[in-house]
Amino acid sequence: MFIGVPAESTAGETRVAVTPETVKKLKALGHEVGVQSGAGVAASVTDEAYVAAGASITDAAGAFGAGLVLKVRAPSEAELALVKPGATLVGMLNPFDAEGLQRLASAGLTSYALEAAPRTTRAQSMDVLSSQANIAGYKAVMIAADQYQRFFPMLMTAAGTVKAARVVVLGVGVAGLQAIATAKRLGAVIEASDVRPSVKEQVESLGAKFIEVPYETDEEKEAAQGVGGYARPMPPSWLARQQVEVAKRVAQADVVISTALIPGRAAPVLVTEDMVKSMKPGSVVVDLAAGKGPLGPHGAPGGNCPLTEADRVVVRHGVTLVGETNLPARVAADASSLYARNVLDFLKLVLNKEGALHVDLNDDIVAACLMSHEGTVRRK
Ligand code: NAD
């Protein structure tokens, strides 16, 4: 099978879908890999490194013209015109983008969106949401530490004592847990909130404090269990109580890292404008939900904080708000390495022993990731 790996064209995207390590493994399985010239440069992988691993270097038409195309992000319309009907596409294709999926179906592609893989043990090695969210959580803290004009750790020096930074993490999924772990390594004092009570133990095991918000009705208890490991929207009664508890912590915080998301819905507002006003000058909010929240006062979607602006750093009421929407792309080399391994593991499900593509709908991971096949959108 000839496998094509185009360069990513989405603005700010630095990742690449294969690395020399995964090229070698694909070659060992009997495949040929054609990488578009320069595809790995932003992730610190040269064309020469790909050639040394056994790939050939090609142009966009060569990479998109393969029977199996590996991408990070969904192709543009112009790129889709280069893909052959009947080809297979694997990438992070955004399962909630109905129009985009229709375009893939209309182009005659069999396409798989890796974000749609179930959160099961067998799917863990191909779970791109986890591999990339882990990186986002780490980088969010690095950026916060860079923007913050004080130390994270408590320091006792001859010139006096410096207090540890107080960090509040909102949303403790994969990104939030890594943010807690990273801030802890830097010496911060951390408190965290999530709708799911099951994360309390994880928060405490990382040395942070869980912000308790009691569940008072059966409806609240049931919603808090989530579905398939994901959060569900919580009843307004619980959210109002959560807001009171979170507001107290945010007013004291030096840094807020917010990561609260509900798949397929607008991100919840957890840091209101009044809360931002209550923060100390020089505090920092890194909002991983930037661009995914309800419409903000700036006329575009905010994040967990409505004042956040996607892909911008703004100062509002003396607080620095960071709205980067693609933090994994800021750790391009490792983000690509982990993503490429996720892709390789997924390919083992769609390539049979003879190296030919097949669509096995009896496989729950394949069935969940399949977005288009034989001209129609197949999203479950
Ligand atoms: P996510 O990115 O969808 O959401 C981030 C976090 O925000 C979640 O913890 C969610 O509960 C929280 N959140 C949503 N609304 C909130 C609110 N109003 N206030 C506070 N927090 C709110 O989550 P994710 O990182 O994809 O992880 C989701 C779950 O799936 C986690 O429990 C994770 O451990 C689990 N998971 C399981 C597997 C597996 O079993 N293989 C793999 C990966 C993740």
Q: What is the 3-state secondary structure (H, E, C) of the chain?
A: CEEEECCCCCCCCCCCCCCHHHHHHHHHCCCEEEEECCCCHHHCCCHHHHHHCCCEEECHHHHHCCCEEEEEECCCHHHHCCCCCCCEEEEECCCCCHHHHHHHHHCCCEEEEHHHCCCCCCCHHHCHHHHHHHHHHHHHHHHHHHHCCCCCCCEEECCEEECCCEEEEECCCHHHHHHHHHHHHCCCEEEEECCCHHHHHHHHHCCCEECCCCCCCHHHHHHHCCECCECCCCCHHHHHHHHHHHHHHHHHCCEEEECCCCCCCCCCCCCCHHHHHHCCCCCEEEECCCCCCCECCCCCECCCCCCCCCCCEEEECCEEEECCCCHHHHHHHHHHHHHHHHHHHHHHHHECCCCCECCCCCCHHHHHHEEEECCEECCC
pLDDT at 143: 98
Active site annotation includes 243: no
pLDDT at 310: 97
pLDDT at 380: 64
Active site annotation includes 230: yes
pTM above 0.90, yes or no: yes
Residue nearest to atom 16 of ligand 1 (CA): 260
Q: Which atom of ligand 1 is nearest to the CA of 199?
A: 32
pLDDT at 6: 98
Residue nearest to atom 23 of ligand 1 (CA): 173
pLDDT at 275: 98
- CA dist., res. 136 & res. 82, Å (int): 32
pLDDT by 10-residue block (mean), the chain, 380 residues: 97 98 97 98 98 98 98 97 97 95 97 96 97 98 98 97 98 97 98 93 98 91 80 88 96 97 89 97 98 94 97 98 98 98 98 93 97 88
- Given a contact cutoff of 8 angstroms between Cβ atoms, the answer to whether 5 and 34 are in contact is yes
The CA 148 to ligand 1 mean position distance, Å, reads 27
Residue nearest to atom 39 of ligand 1 (CA): 119
Residue nearest to atom 24 of ligand 1 (CA): 173
Q: What is the ipTM of this complex?
A: 0.93
Q: Measuring from each residue's beta carbon to the nearest atom of ligand 1, which residues come in under 6 Å?
A: 119-121, 124, 127, 129-130, 133, 170-176, 193-196, 229-231, 234, 259-263, 268, 270
- Given a contact cutoff of 8 angstroms between Cβ atoms, the answer to whether 313 and 321 are in contact is yes
Active site annotation includes 119: yes
pLDDT at 302: 97
The CA 309 to ligand 1 mean position distance, Å, reads 23
pLDDT at 109: 97
Active site annotation includes 124: yes
For residue range 295-312, list pLDDT tens digits in order. 999 999 999 999 999 999
